[in-house]
Structure formats: structure tokens, C-alpha cells
Structure 1
Amino acid sequence: MINEGYLVVDELENHFNAQISASLIRLFYDPKINVRGTLIFSTHYPLLLDQIDRLDCIYLLQNKDLISASRLDQILFRKDIKKSDIFISGYLDGTAPDYLPYRNLVRALIFHNSDKKIQPDKIEAKMVDQFIGDICEGNAELAIIRILLENGLLKFTEEDLINPNDMQLRNGKKFSDRYLELRYPQKVKIFYVHDSHYEKFILPKTTKQKAEVFHVITAPEIEILHIIDQDRHKIFLQKFKSKMKPSEYCKQELRIKYQKGYEYNYDYWYSRPEDLVRAIKEYERMTKKQKDEFTLADLLKS
């Protein structure tokens, strides 16, 4: 660096660990150490981008039909987002992996390990045409969604879900990091099933353009469905609503040994999915929805 010149490194992170790589980049920014030397490097490690101050020093490869290189200052017009988040999240189209090949691979592995003999082209033909994230506030909500999914009563199937085994991840940032950093051919619909009119599911700025969030409200509590199922909804509203929560009413007045856990709620509705649907529709009929809110009835098949 004292004698000027260039240091060119392909895949910088493969030669040094992350901390040393970052330190090396910072050396080139120190005027006491580097006067006119230039570091040119490629990387698959997006966090190194945060060590670079100027956007016009970064060229980004994007895969949009064809692979192209663009200078970052010419395609990014926001400076309030970390450079690494921009790349990882797919905020700029063409930097995140495609979701469809990933889902095809998962399906192929599942079928390979099963007794079913399905040709690869048949697997691809079964690909979903909608992409759903379903998030449940508690175990009772999760049990009810599971019953509806298993009986094919929703507008989406388990195959449509991007998070079928992780439906209680209520942190928007963590959900985004785990599921929205892939590239989807259309917006993901996220249904957040909970009982609060005030709680919101907030995604980071880098990925919120990839998804639309729908709040599915079960206020005052999901246990209201049990009360409706026992034909006690009107009595509850008239005499008990101001005195106790639906979960307390189930225990004290209905005497059904109610528990908020997954197993109790799953077992309660398991053999009676048609009664669950009836309770959901009755709740919809008797409820005044607030603006931009939905109920479980909105998720049911027509």
C-alpha cells in the first residue's frame, strides 16, 4: 500500500475469516496506512458490504433472466437500509435464491423417502400457485388451524405454506430472516391469527414489499368458539362478558375442563370439524369486524 498498486482477491472470505476480512477492508480506508492503494475483491459474504462506505464502489451481480452487474449507487436510492440486508433480503430483484426450485427439491426428497413412485415432472406439476405464511398466537389457535388444514377446509393447503412446521414464529424480523429471503414469483400472504385488535405483525423494510399481512382476529379469545359450540354465546355476552374472559367462562361455567394447550383443543375438535366450521361462521355472523381485520371465516373454503 505504501508503493501504491492493486490487491485483487477472489472470494475474500474464503482466504480469511470474517473478522480478518473486515479488518483488511478497513486498512484500505485508513489514510495513515493506505495512501493510494486499491483493494478489489469479490465475495459471497454480504456482511462485508457493510464495511464499505461508498455505494459507487460496489458492483452487484443480479440474476434476472440473464446475469448482469450493476453499480449499487445506480440501482439503490435508499440509504437507510444496511447494504447486507439489501442483498440478503432480495430487496433488489435478482439477489435472492428462487423459492420454487427449493420447494421442488424438498418435495423430491420427501417423495424419494416415501413409498410413492412419482416422476420428477409430476412433482413439478403439483407445485403450488400461492404462497402462504400462517402464524398462530397460541397453541389453541394452532390446533384449530391444524384441524382445518387436515380436513381441507381452508382456501390454502399445507403444501401452500412456506412455514408448515413453524407456525408460531411471531417475530416479524425472525420470520423475514427465515422465510422471506428467498425469491417468490408473487407476494406472500401472511395470515396472523390472534385475539388483539392492537397487536401488529411488522416486517422489516427490506422484505415488507415481498409480503402482505392479514390480521385474523379471534377476539376476545379463541375460546369463544367453544362457547358458541356449547350454544352459550348469547348468555356469555349478556351476563359474563364484562366479568370474565372466555377461557375462564369455559372452565367455570361450561365445566368442560378446558385447557389452553394444543392437545386439548386438537382433541376437542378432531372428530367434529363440521362443528368447528359452524362455530367459526356463527362467530363471523355475530361479530362486527374492524377495518382491515379478518376472521377465520374469511379463510374457509367457499
Structure 2
Amino acid sequence: MDRDRCRDILKDHFVLFSVEGTAEAAIINSLIENDALIVPHDHLVSDYTDATRYYTRTRKAKDIVDRYFNVNYRSATANGLAIARIVDTSSGKFVLPKSLKDEAEVLSFYTKPEIEMLVIHREGAFREWERASRKDRSLRPNVFCKSTLGIKDVKEDRFLSDYWSDCGKLIHAIKVYSETAHRDRDELMLVDLLK
């Protein structure tokens, strides 16, 4: 999708963030708490189980339809609903029923190869990661974080919430990561969510 069109959608729709994992949840939560997103705060859709949380771990299209499509998202300030999926791969299918295709925009933001690349960038270890991954093509970013950077809890909720609470460092890592990641021309990334 065209990035300018994506940003327009994020500005003028209600937005439901559907996050894949613990790290994605901690990152989106920090960006929301620090008002770093292009999405207006009053357009964030809260989770159906916790009205104070502005993202959901619900990921299947059917479940999202069942839980979130009982509200009219059109208003004087919003042109409907946008579902912003934070996922690590484009292989997962997310198809709304034909009857609802015009009711929501679906935007997928990819964090491939792994969300732990943000940790590597925050720690200033990207060159070291490149050297290590050239030596061992099967080396995964989360293993590098544990073995080389000594960050054993890289997938733990408590650690991640604290680690990404410094939103300035998070934003910097997202921006640097977007410069080094290989992405398709029309692929959206976390950087496309930032103000």
C-alpha cells in the first residue's frame, strides 16, 4: 500500500491495533502512552476485554469481526475502522467477509525478520549482528540478543514493558531499523505509524 494513503487512513479512521506477540504489544503500548503515533488518541479502539488497553491480541479476522464490528465507526471525525495488524510475516491470511469489506481498511505492518532487531538497533549492535549472522546464517535475532547482548528476557512481558518505556529510544530504534531492513516497495513497517 502507498505510505501516504496509509498515513491518511490512520489519521481519519478509528484504529484497532491487532498485535502478534508480547514484544509488539509492549512497543505499541509505549508508542500510544507517549502519543508518538500518527493516529489521534481519541480514534484508538480499546480491547474488548480491557477498555484501558488500546490494542488487542485478537488476530483472526473472524474473531475481530465478532468482537469489534458491533459499533458504527463512522463519525464527523472518522471515516470508519482501520485494522492495523502488527505481524512478522505476510504469509498469514486476514480476510474480512465480503459483506464487511467496505466497513474497514486492513493495514499490515511487518516486523520481519524479527521484532528483536529493534533491540539490536537500540543497543547499537547492528554491525556486530551483521558479522555474526554472516558467520552463522541460521542465527536468529532473539538468540543473538540472549547470547551476545546478554539480554536473556528479550521475549518476557515485564522486561519488554520496562525496556521500551523510553519512547525516544524506541522511536530511534524503529527509524534506524527501517533504514536497514529489506522490505518490499509497498510493505508497511512500524516507522509508518509514527508522527
Please say if 1:290 is aligned against 2:184: yes
Alignment of 1:99-138 (within 5 A): 130-138=13-21
Point out where structure 1 has 5 or more consecutive residues left out of the alignment.
1-127
Runs of 4 or more, structure 1, over 6 Å off, are none
Please say if 1:224 is aligned against 2:117: yes
Cα deviation 1:138-168 (Å, max 9, x = unaligned): 0110001001100110112443122343511
Instruction: Give the drift of 1:129.
Output: 5.5
The residue type paired with residue 183 of structure 1 is: N
Point out where structure 2 has 5 or more consecutive residues left out of the alignment.
1-10, 48-52
Aligned residue in 2 for 1:251: 146
Provide the aligned length of Structure 1 versus Structure 2: 173
CA–CA distance in structure 1, aligned partners of residues 45 and 87 of structure 2: 19
Aligned residue in 1 for 2:57: 168
Structure with higher RCO (Cα < 8 A, 6+ apart): 2
Structure 1-normalised TM-score?
A: 0.54
> Do 2:24 and 2:86's aligned partners in 1 also have CA atoms closer than 8 Å?
yes
Secondary structure of the residue aligned to 1:251 is helix
> Do 1:229 and 1:279's aligned partners in 2 also have CA atoms closer than 8 Å?
yes
Q: Which moved more, 1:286-295 or 1:223-232?
A: 286-295
Which one of the candidate residues 123, 132, 140 is aligned to 1:239?
A: 132
- Give the greater-gyration-radius structure (CA): 1
Instruction: Give the drift of 1:259.
Output: 3.2
CA–CA distance in structure 1, aligned partners of residues 181 and 61 of structure 2: 28
Instruction: Give the drift of 1:291.
Output: 4.3
Aligned residue in 1 for 2:50: none
Aligned residue in 2 for 1:269: 164
> Do 1:247 and 1:258's aligned partners in 2 also have CA atoms closer than 8 Å?
no
Secondary structure of the residue aligned to 2:85 is strand
CA–CA distance in structure 2, aligned partners of residues 129 and 243 of structure 1: 42
Secondary structure of the residue aligned to 1:280 is helix
Alignment of 1:1-302 (within 5 A): 130-164=13-47, 165=53, 167-185=56-74, 186-240=79-133, 242-270=137-165, 272-301=166-195
For the aligned residue pairs, the C-alpha RMSD in angstroms reads: 1.9
> Do 1:193 and 1:215's aligned partners in 2 also have CA atoms closer than 8 Å?
yes
> Do 1:155 and 1:300's aligned partners in 2 also have CA atoms closer than 8 Å?
yes
Q: Measured at CA, do residues 256 and 170 of structure 1 come closer, stay the same or move farther in structure 2, by a change above 3 Å?
A: same
CA–CA distance in structure 2, aligned partners of residues 187 and 292 of structure 1: 23
